[in-house]
Structure 1
Amino acid sequence: MQDKSKKSFKVSTKLTLIVGFFILLVLAITTIVSYQQSKSTAFELLQDTQLKTMDDVKVSFDAYASMKRRIIDVLAKNLNDNPNMSMSDILVMLEVIKHSTEFDAVYIGYEDTGKLIMSDGTILDSAKGYDARNANWYKQAKQAGKLIVTRPYKSVTDGKINLAYAVPLYKDGKLIGVVGADYNVEKFSHDVLASGKSAHSYASVYDVDGNIAFNEDQTKLLTKNTLSINIQKTLAQDSKLLDPNVRDTLFFADNDKGETQAIMCNPSSINPIYRICSVVNKKTYDSIIDKIFYSQIIVGIIALAITLILIRILISRGLSPLTTIQSGLNSFFDFINHK
């Protein structure tokens, strides 16, 4: 009787394994298909989120830059409209603009003498070894004949990295000077790029040469690193990556640590030499996709185990009447054979 029970056990086990194999095959195929679909969906969601972040930072960057430009334009217009303004009134105007707009300094350089008048009352001239006409911001504005914005530069006086906004001043069509203002790049970066920062991402602005022009980490400003160089090379090789009409512009580049970063960039509409980029560690993409994969594997294993247990129970119960019949037939034949 014990042997018959063992045979029944072997039969049910074989049937369970056969059925389990086919279930496992179906489950594996289903899991792979589901994983690929989930992977594609997760990737698209992450990409859309990064794209929106980049767009938001770009809007903030362009709006912020435009506001600073408008302020200097308005100041220049007031000075052009009032060419006979007294020195004291000019100083008051410069001081008001400086404090109300958070410029670090506002100043006027004059074409006839090279004298520089600053918002804090400081006056620099040839007697002090200074000539405003030799300053880079002055030369650029004079040559352009309109508002210019310099690239970020390090101040020789305090070591801060600034932008200079400058507009030429005219009287009766003749150049009489240039009005300018300095704005701190670190503050600009913090105010604009903060919206692109999260636990796994950050925003940075690079120029066409691969220099880091705006970044919340001041130590990176006006420098190049492996990531900025790789970004510059990739963008130079594929112009579509900077086409604002193309939305699928995600590309990958390695940083100094050899970590692959997922990157999306857009040129600034107000100053195309700058590329506004959203940077996310590729591990963020991979980790989310891996979590989906592992969760599906775990759910599949649990479902398979429960299914096999239930199948084993059903098969065992289904074979129980057959075992009884077989036992009866064996007894009958044993009786006939006088066993």
Structure 2
Amino acid sequence: MSLLKSLKGQILALSSACLVLALLVLTVANFLVARSQARDSLIEESLATAKSHVETIEEWGRGKALVVAASVAAFDDPEPVKTLALLRDAGKFSTFYFGFADKKYVFSETRNLPADYDPTARPWYKQAAAAGGPVITPPYISASDGKLVVTFASPVGAGSALKGVAAGDVSMESVVATVSSVRPTPQSFGFMASSDGKIIAHPDAALTLKPLTDLAPALTSDKLQAAAKSRELLGIEIGGRQRLLTVVPIAGTSWMLVVALDESEALAPIRAMLTTSVVSSIVVLAIAVALLAAVLTQRLRRLTQVRDAMHEVGEGDGDLSRRIDTHGEDELAQIASSYNNFAGKLSGVLGQIREASGSVRVAAEEIATGNQDLSGRTELTASSLQETSASMQQLTETVRQNADAAR
């Protein structure tokens, strides 16, 4: 606290406070700007990552849809089985088939189906007939091998002229693998969801075809679709960690690919930048305070000298012949010059007083000498008077004796 009582300490404290405030404002401003830029960069990078994988899935879907569309040319063949088998193998379908409007059906391989099997009652047939164009059915788990499967279907004809539907089942293993490969950071992942709020693909196979709320209670299809339209990051907690979701719709489907960035990892560079800024600010502050203290010590040296000299003068021990350096034109130089003038004039006044005191001392000594002479003469006079008095007494005694004798 004693330092704050001095002018140097007060200037140093005020300057340090201003410097701390300036560095704090600069650090906060840099952090906010960097965070905004980093967030924009995260959005761009996440979108780029998602789009690259979406393009792979879209290409996969287009390829399957083209194979199904090409099969329509064989719809009127009397024996289309061989053609269906070729299309199945070429398109890597698990099975390929035609469903006719008269409830007949043809598969690319022999199937043991119930005698009352009606292709027109199947979801893929109804969906294609209702759409009047190529469709992709919602994914489902195959009863034969337990794999995730989707059906590509295309109607042949439309309305009352509908002849039937060409369709093929294909495993989504490659799609699941593509989604699982989305891993921008160690704790980040990707998943694919449908517009009806179900998880289609996720690194955790147990979540397949489960509702989005099983992944995160607050996660809904509407939020994902809104994020896809706004192209903004959707913040949500998944698995006890805060995530930033980037959503990209998959063309030709009702699916969405979601990149779930781990917020802690994604913003780690920003935290590192903030830490670096804080450490740098502390170092700059320490250097600036040290330099300022050195400059103040140097610049206020003359003021300290004036203070010490005035203190010595006040205590009566001052050397009035001492002069302070007046180099420069600042206020301290003016104060030093004023002190030098004050000391010079005071020294002159004291010199005059000293001379007057000497004269008074000499006069006093002369007066004392005169007094001593006068005292000596007075003593001689008194001695003479005593002798005269004695003589007078003797004379009086002689006269008295003579008078007695004359009687």
TM-score band by shorter chain is 0.7 to 0.9
RMSD: 3.5
In structure 2, the residue matched to 1:223 is 210
Instruction: Answer yes or no: is 1:300 the counterpart of 2:287.
Output: no
* 1:159 and 2:146 matched: yes
Unaligned runs of 5+ in 2: 321-407
2:294 is the counterpart of 1:313: yes
Structure 1 position 45 matched with structure 2 position 45: no
Aligned-pair identity in percent equals 20
Aligned counterparts, 1:146-185, within 5 A = 146-169=133-156, 178-185=165-172
Contact 1:209 1:232 in 2 (8 A): no
Equivalent in 255, 272, 285 of residue 274 of structure 1: 255
Aligned to 2:368: none
Distance 1:104 1:306, change over 3 A: same
Which of 16, 23, 26 is residue 22 of structure 2 equivalent to? 26
CA distance in 2, matches of 1:331, 1:241: 79
Residue equivalent to 1:197? 183
Does structure 1 residue 260 correspond to structure 2 residue 260? no
2:184 counterpart SS class: coil
Q: Which runs of 5+ in 1 are unaligned?
A: 1-5
2:94 aligns to what?
A: 104
The Cα of 1:266 is off from its aligned counterpart by 3.5
**C-alpha spacing 1:68/1:84, structure 2 compared with 1 (3 Å):** closer
Q: Sort the Cα spacing of 1:115 and 1:101 in 2 relative to 1 into closer, same or farther, 3 A.
A: closer
- Equivalent residue letter for 1:60: T
Which stretch of structure 1 is more off in the superposition, 293-302 or 26-35? 26-35
Q: 1:165 to 1:250 in 2, by over 3 A?
A: same
Task: Describe the shift of the 1:229–1:94 C-alpha distance in structure 2 as closer, same or farther (beyond 3 A).
Answer: farther
User: 1:116·1:123 contact (CA, 8 Å) conserved in 2?
Assistant: no
> 1:107 and 1:331, CA in 2 relative to 1: closer, same or farther beyond 3 A?
same
Q: Which amino acid aligns with 1:124?
A: N
Relative to structure 1, the CA distance from residue 28 to residue 123 in structure 2 (aligned partners, 3 Å threshold; closer, same or farther) is closer
Following superposition, the deviation at residue 231 of structure 1 comes to 3.3
1:231–1:125 CA distance, 2 compared to 1 (3 A): closer
- Distance across 2 between alignment mates of 1:182 and 1:190: 18
- Cα offset for 1:53? 2.6
Query: Aligned with 1:124: secondary structure?
Result: coil
User: Is the 1:206–1:228 contact (alpha carbons within 8 Å) kept by the matching residues of 2?
Assistant: no
Whether contact under 8 Å (1:125, 1:131) holds in the other structure is no
From the two aligned structures, give the one with the greater strand fraction. Answer: 1
CA distance in 1, matches of 2:306, 2:127: 105
How far apart are the structure 1 equivalents of 2:112 and 2:221?
A: 43
Specify the SS of the correspondent of 1:47.
helix
CA contact (8 A) 1:160 1:184 kept: yes
Retained in 2: the 8 A contact 1:263–1:277? yes
Cα distance, 1:35 vs. partner?
1.9
Counterpart of 2:52 (choices 53, 56, 62) is 56
SS in 2 for 1:230: coil
Amino acid aligned to 1:302? V
**CA spacing shift, 1:94–1:16, aligned 2, 3 Å:** same
Supply the AA of the counterpart residue of 1:314: V
Deviation at 1:300, TM superposition (A): 0.3
Secondary structure of the structure 1 residue equivalent to 2:220 = helix
Could you tell me which amino acid in structure 1 is paired with residue 251 of structure 2? Answer: S
- Deviation track 1:272-321 (CA, whole Å, cap 9, x = no partner) reads x3233222123234433322222211110011111112222233333445
Q: Deviations over 1:29-72 (max 9, x none)?
A: 22222222222222221122223333333333333212210111
Deviation by residue 1:213-237 (Cα, 9 ceiling, x = unmatched):
233443322112434663325438x
Asked if 1 retains the 8 angstrom alpha-carbon contact of 2:97 and 2:105, the reply is no
Residue 347 of structure 2 corresponds to none
Deviation string 1:120-175 (CA, Å, 9 cap, x unpaired) is x4243556x755555433444455554332110111111111001123457xx976
Q: Deviation per CA, 1:157-203, whole angstroms, max 9, x where unpaired?
A: 11111001123457xx9766543221112322323x36643225333
Instruction: Note if contact 2:63-2:91 (Cα within 8 Å) is conserved in structure 1.
Output: no
The answer (yes or no) to whether the contact 2:180–2:202 under 8 Å persists in 1 is no
Residue in 2 that maps onto 1:187:
174
Tell whether the 8 Å contact from 1:117 to 1:123 is kept in structure 2 after alignment: yes
Q: Tell whether 2:200 aligns with 1:213.
A: yes
Distance 1:335 1:48, change over 3 A: closer
Q: Which amino acid aligns with 1:36?
A: L
Deviation at 1:212, TM superposition (A): 0.6
- The one-character-per-residue Cα deviations of 1:232-286 (angstroms, maximum 9, x if unpaired) are 25438xx75443xx44x3222232x343321232433312x32332221232344
Q: 1:334 to 1:214 in 2, by over 3 A?
A: same
Matched to 2:90, the amino acid is S
CA contact (8 A) 1:124 1:130 kept: no
Matching residue's letter, 1:166: A
Whole-angstrom distance in 2 between the partners of 1:327 and 1:252: 66
- Give the AA of the match of 1:197: R
Give 1:106 shift.
Answer: 2.3
Distance 1:259 1:75 in 2: 48
Contact 2:243 2:260 in 1 (8 A): yes
Q: Corresponding residue for 1:3?
A: none
Larger Rg: 2
